Chains A and B, each alone.
Chain A
Amino acid sequence: MRKVRLDTSHGAIVLELDDENAPATVANFIQYANDGHYDNTVFHRVIDGFMIQGGGFAPGMKQKPTRAPVANEAGNGLKNRKYTVAMARTNDPHSATAQFFINVADNDFLDYKGPSPQGWGYCVFGKVVEGTDVVDRIRGVATGRSGGHENVPSEDVVIRSASVLA
């Protein structure tokens, strides 16, 4: 299992990544981390009771360029349980690039149901092993509208750096 530490403005979050069940997704995430993509990005969508999403925008809601999408490995049996990390994407099941989210509740409706556009689900590829308290602090921040987006933290929640630990 690989680990990645996210040093955020609210404290450190350590993610343990399941490269056995989600090899392509983990490799994709680690490459973004090693490339420094996540450094100085924000959690731009924070919905308490649901999830916190980040990894795609610099402060000021400036979207960052990404590589080609990664195949959706949501059929790997991993569930969108509280404190798991999964890839965000558009309606196209195979459109995940850099953005990810940490579930802050059990979100079983995001799990893989079958190979249809609505059934593909969202690929879980790891879980928080340190810093659940940090996740809890982030999910509790005040949010509002910014740059045409909803649920944006009123004060930036910044990922200062993402370091691959092992």
Chain B
Amino acid sequence: MKPTLFLSDLHLSPDRPAAAEAFEAFCRGPARDAAAVYLLGDLFDWWIGDEQLDEPFAERMAAALRGVTAAGVPVSVAQGNRDFLYGPRFVRETGTTRLPEQIVVDIGGTPTLLMHGDELCTSDVDYQRYRARMRAPETARRLLALPAFVRRWMARRLRKRSRDETALKPESILDVAEDAVVAAFRAHGVTRMIHGHTHRPATHHVEVDGRRCERIVLADWHDRGHWVEAGVQGLVRREIG
């Protein structure tokens, strides 16, 4: 049985060549031997519209993805909080499938909730307000109507603001809120979830309505490539680069 692979928070950018090389190695190797690959958000450090594919760097990363899907491995992409403007051209040129914000998939017989995970950080009220605004379909439409040079300026500003604000916030509110986790398990009736966003890789257990639930947090790719493999040995963390 081929494994299913989960990864997130690669934050691919020309400023991080090591992560890009690790991603290419991942796409040439492990991804091609997988049953399916789930990219759970923030694949790119920013995505301001599909004309970004005209940039050599983004095209190189898209080509790596295309290699996986062309080999017959389905790749599903969730939007993160940085890369929420993927459009039809990205989907077409990479051969990937867009994921809704939250989805339950059967992984080796266990229904598993997949998401980027920023929606779980409900203690950060300002962020949730901002997220709601940015995720509104109206916002995407309005942003995509802006000229490319304005969107590039916005992406730079948003990245800077995210960095500055994150640096000023207490650690506790940047992590998921336990009640949001419980609510998500309850809402979907599952006992396992996999998400990214917090850059705090760990496996947590929580009791929800008498059921033992497992929450797997994916690692970012700032030092090297990381993913979780669901296969015959259960869930295993893997690395590359």
Chain A residues with CB under 8 Å of chain B are: 45, 47, 49-50, 88, 90-91, 107, 109-110, 116-119, 122, 148, 150-151
Asked if A109 and B152 sit within 8 Å, CB to CB, the answer is yes
Asked if B54 and A116 sit within 8 Å, CB to CB, the answer is yes
Asked if A90 and B146 sit within 8 Å, CB to CB, the answer is no
* Extra 16 A-B pairs, beta carbons < 8 Å, given A91-B54, A116-B56, A122-B149: A47-B150, A47-B153, A50-B150, A50-B153, A88-B149, A90-B147, A91-B148, A109-B152, A109-B156, A116-B54, A117-B51, A117-B54, A118-B51, A148-B145, A150-B145, A150-B146
- Please list 15 pairs of residues, one from A and one from B, whose beta carbons are closer than 8 Å in the complex, sorted by A's number: A49-B157, A50-B153, A88-B147, A91-B54, A91-B148, A109-B152, A109-B156, A110-B152, A116-B55, A117-B51, A117-B54, A148-B145, A150-B142, A150-B145, A151-B150
Q: How many residues of B contact A (CB 8 A)?
A: 16
Asked if A91 and B56 sit within 8 Å, CB to CB, the answer is no
In the complex, what residue of chain B is closest to A90 when comparing beta carbons?
B147
Shortest A92–chain B CB gap in Å is 11
In the complex, what residue of chain B is closest to A50 when comparing beta carbons?
B153
Minimum-distance CB pairs A-B, first 8: A117-B54, A118-B55, A50-B153, A118-B54, A91-B148, A91-B51, A109-B152, A150-B146
Q: Which residues of B contact A122 (CB under 8 A)?
A: 149
Q: Which residues of A contact B157 (CB under 8 A)?
A: 49
B residues 94-149 touching A (CB-CB < 8 Å)? 142, 145-149
- Complex Cα spacing A119 to B153, Å: 15
Shortest B138–chain A CB gap in Å is 11
- Interface of A: prevailing SS: loop
In the complex, what residue of chain A is closest to B150 when comparing beta carbons?
A47
Q: Identify which of A49, A110, A151 contacts B149 (C-beta below 8 A).
A: A110
How many A-B residue pairs have C-beta atoms within 8 angstroms? Tell me.
34
In the complex, what residue of chain B is closest to A145 when comparing beta carbons?
B142
- Interface of B: prevailing SS: helix
Q: Mark B147-166, 1 if CB is under 8 A from A, else 0.
A: 11110110011000000000
- Complex Cα spacing A140 to B148, Å: 23
- Complex Cα spacing A50 to B155, Å: 12
B residues 20-61 touching A (CB-CB < 8 Å)? 51-52, 54-56
- Complex Cα spacing A91 to B157, Å: 20
Shortest B132–chain A CB gap in Å is 19
- Complex Cα spacing A94 to B54, Å: 16
Shortest B63–chain A CB gap in Å is 16
In the complex, what residue of chain B is closest to A118 when comparing beta carbons?
B55
In the complex, what residue of chain A is closest to B143 when comparing beta carbons?
A150
Q: Mark B176-209, 1 if CB is under 8 A from A, else 0.
A: 0000000000000000000000000000000000
Q: Identify which of A91, A109, A117, A148 contacts B153 (C-beta below 8 A).
A: A109
In the complex, what residue of chain B is closest to A151 when comparing beta carbons?
B150
- Complex Cα spacing A151 to B147, Å: 12
Shortest A109–chain B CB gap in Å is 6
Q: Which residues of A contact B54 (CB under 8 A)?
A: 91, 116-118
- Complex Cα spacing A91 to B54, Å: 10
- Complex Cα spacing A107 to B154, Å: 12
- Complex Cα spacing A108 to B56, Å: 19
Q: Which residues of B contact A49 (CB under 8 A)?
A: 157
Shortest A164–chain B CB gap in Å is 27
Q: Which residues of B contact A88 (CB under 8 A)?
A: 147, 149
Asked if A45 and B148 sit within 8 Å, CB to CB, the answer is no
- Complex Cα spacing A118 to B55, Å: 6
- Complex Cα spacing A117 to B49, Å: 14
- Complex Cα spacing A150 to B55, Å: 26
- Complex Cα spacing A151 to B154, Å: 13
Q: Which residues of A contact B150 (CB under 8 A)?
A: 45, 47, 50, 151
